[in-house]
Amino acid sequence: MTVIITAPELAEALAGEAPPVLLDVRWQLSLAKAAGAPPFDGRAEHAAGHIPGAVFVDLDRELAGAPGGHGRHPLPDLAEFGAAMRRAGVSASRPVVVYDGGQGWAAARAWWMLRWTGHPDVRVLDGGLPSWTGELATGAAVPDAGDFVPAPDAAGLLDADGAAELARTGVLLDARAGERYRGEVEPVDRVGGHIPGAVSAPTTENVGPDGRFLPAVELKDRFKALGVSSDAPVGVYCGSGVSGAHEVLALAVAGIPAALYVGSWSEWSADPSRPVAVGADPQ
């Protein structure tokens, strides 16, 4: 099954007899308080213009729990997540397409959450809203309620201990920018660096200048060069389980299954007892 969809393919699907549920997950990591700028408001962006029929989903409130000891974007309460998806019109028997403002990270988090909790048919709009050339709608869509009930798959999820073990026995990819991995800067979390044994694999290198994924064969070659093979399990982490979901999606485009450490660096680094590696060397 494909995990991404192009804008022309989406337009054709929306015009068909059984259109997919369409979710708008526009979001940005907010450093606005430090920068003195107003915070990004995805709901307002959605109301100002969205793909017709799309329903807004709030990443911070519906795709994640409250920040705390398990990271900045921990797993949401699954009952609340299921209720949010049903309000958005999500049903197990109907395909879902998710998109964001073009970065792809938030859409990938929605894709991962739905796939991890058992939805059989979820795709991400490659390139996000900027790739859409059709008309836009304003206001807020009011969908019919869906029937989706989450049934999570433990195999696709890592906790801190599982991530540490995978760094020793398999391949653990760090999806953050290289300078954060090396510990040169850390704009968000308590300390910079990486999980010992993790390999630097910035998710930004999985896409081209237009924000669309590289061809599957190029992604497969990239991950092979990073040590990914069919012989060892693969996991991904990032800052808080958002850009890491995008790396899991890139791996899926390449045909490679991977687990996500949702707590990621924001959970790992918050515990002073956990080891921190710095520099370009994984160890």
Positions annotated as catalytic residues are: 238
Inter-axis angle of helices 243-253 and 105-116, nearest 10:
70
Contact of 180 with 240, CB cutoff 8 Å: no
pLDDT for the residue 38: 74
Parallel/antiparallel/unpaired status of strands 21-24 and 55-56: parallel
pLDDT of residue 230: 85
Strands (E), the chain: 4-5, 21-24, 55-56, 96-99, 122-125, 157-158, 171-174, 199-200, 234-237, 259-261
- The full set of domain ranges for the chain reads 4-151, 155-268
Look at residue 34 in the predicted model and tell me its pLDDT: 46
pLDDT of residue 30: 64
**Which residues neighbour 145 within 8 Å (Cβ) at sequence distance 6 or greater?**
86, 87, 89
The hierarchical CATH code for the domain 155-268 is 3.40.250.10
User: Which CA distances in Å does 175 have to 80, 82, 105?
Assistant: 28, 27, 11
Res 278: pLDDT: 97
CATH class for the region spanning 4-151 = alpha beta
Output the pLDDT for position 166. 97
Q: Give average pLDDT by consecutive 10-residue segment, the chain, 283 residues.
A: 94 96 92 60 94 97 96 97 98 97 97 97 98 95 94 93 97 98 94 97 96 97 96 96 98 97 98 96 91
Q: Which class for 216: exposed (0-12), middle (13-18), buried (19 or more C-beta within 10 A)? A: middle
- How far apart are alpha carbons 112 and 241 in whole angstroms? 10
Angle at 222 between CA 221 and CA 225, to 5 degrees: 85
pLDDT (0 to 100) of residue 36 = 61
pTM across the whole model? 0.96
Same CATH topology for 4-151 and 155-268: the answer is yes
